[in-house]
């Protein structure tokens, strides 16, 4: 994208939480996870400038009624479950 174009308004932590909740509604809590690539970009979400700010995202999700197991799944539990399933499938071949 051309840097001379007007920058879009920054996304917010609340908008990220909205998006995560939408994915949860569409696919279920067991199919949503977090990932981030903060290397080499200045375009980051306000309030989520790097992984050290993830606790603020989880605080927002807790405020919205997410449970600790839900947040644990989002934080990596779902990814680990999927990888373990793939390993088990590969081992059975």
Spatial distance between the Cα atoms of 55 and 38, rounded to a whole number of angstroms: 16
Q: Is the pLDDT of residue 5 over 50?
A: no
pLDDT given at position 68: 97
Closest alpha carbon to 45 in 70, 19, 80: 19
For 22-80, how does the pLDDT look when each residue is reduced to its tens digit (9 = 90+)?
999 999 999 999 988 777 777 888 888 888 999 999 999 999 999 999 999 999 999 99
Paired tokens of 32: 């949503």
Q: State the burial class of residue 41 (Cβ atoms within 10 Å of its Cβ: 0-12, 13-18, 19+).
A: exposed
| pLDDT top residue among 59 and 11 | 59
Q: Are 36 and 49 in contact (CB under 8 A)?
A: no
**Residue 5 backbone phi and psi in degrees, to 5:** -70, 150
pLDDT given at position 20: 97
Going from N- to C-terminal start, the domains of the chain cover 13-26+47-92
């Amino acid at each position: 994208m051309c840097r001379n174009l007007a920058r879009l308004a920054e996304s917010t932590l609340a908008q990220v939480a909205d998006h995560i909740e939408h994915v949860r509604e569409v696919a279920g809590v067991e199919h949503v996870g977090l990932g981030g690539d903060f290397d080499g970009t200045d375009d980051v979400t306000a309030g989520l400038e790097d992984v050290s700010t993830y606790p603020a995202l989880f605080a927002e999700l807790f405020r919205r009624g997410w449970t600790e197991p839900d947040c644990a799944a989002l934080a990596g539990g779902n990814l680990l479950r999927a990888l373990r399933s793939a390993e088990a499938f590969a081992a059975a071949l």
